[in-house]
């Protein structure tokens, strides 16, 4: 039987990896700021129109918008912190990049937990350098 499992991806820190990571983080920061700016622009018009018809509903909407804006600001702050930390990554160390889905063959008598957990790939500058099984 074939089943799906998560495979952890680790990148070996190189100068190329560090620069790619920093570029990704900077893109995410810019996109988050653009969402905040767009939210500000759209909410001003929306709230002005709503205040003219229903002040209570406008106050509730403002609270929801402010909460969403704070969430985006927190995300931007976290991304900025990660950008600072990217410069401190030790060359040659492993950095968790995420997971992908893969399949594994399960047979009678196999240790199920060993088969579906603990799989990992190590990548250096885009090339797989190691595959680990639990």
Give the confidence band of 56 by pLDDT, cuts at 50, 70, 90: confident
Angle ∠(102,12,86) on CA atoms, nearest 5: 110
Q: What percent of the chain has pLDDT over 90?
A: 77
Residue 122 has a pLDDT of: 97
Torsion sign over Cα 38, 42, 44, 47 = negative
Q: Where are the domains of the chain?
A: 2-132
Could you tell me which of 71, 63, 66 has the C-alpha nearest to residue 32?
71
**What predicted TM-score, i.e. pTM, was given to this entire model?**
0.78
Tens-place pLDDT, residues 114-130:
888 889 999 999 999 99
The DSSP H or E segment spanning 78 is: helix 55-86
Could you tell me which of 123, 81, 118, 125 has the C-alpha nearest to residue 102?
118
Tens-place pLDDT, residues 22-33:
999 999 999 999
Whether pLDDT at 134 is above 80: no
């Amino acid at each position: 039987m074939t089943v799906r499992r998560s495979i952890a991806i680790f990148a070996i820190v190189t100068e190329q990896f560090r620069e790619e990571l920093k570029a990704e983080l900077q893109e995410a920061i810019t996109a988050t700021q653009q969402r905040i700016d767009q939210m500000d622009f759209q909410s001003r018009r929306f709230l002005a129109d709503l205040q003219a018809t229903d002040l209570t509903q406008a106050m509730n909407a403002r609270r929801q918008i402010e909460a969403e804006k704070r969430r985006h600001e927190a995300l931007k702050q976290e991304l900025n912190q990660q950008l600072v930390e990217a410069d401190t990554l030790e060359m040659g160390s492993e950095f968790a990049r995420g997971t992908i889905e893969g399949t594994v063959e399960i047979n009678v008598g196999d240790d199920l937990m060993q088969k579906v957990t603990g799989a990992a790939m190590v990548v250096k500058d885009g090339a797989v350098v190691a595959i680990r099984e639990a």
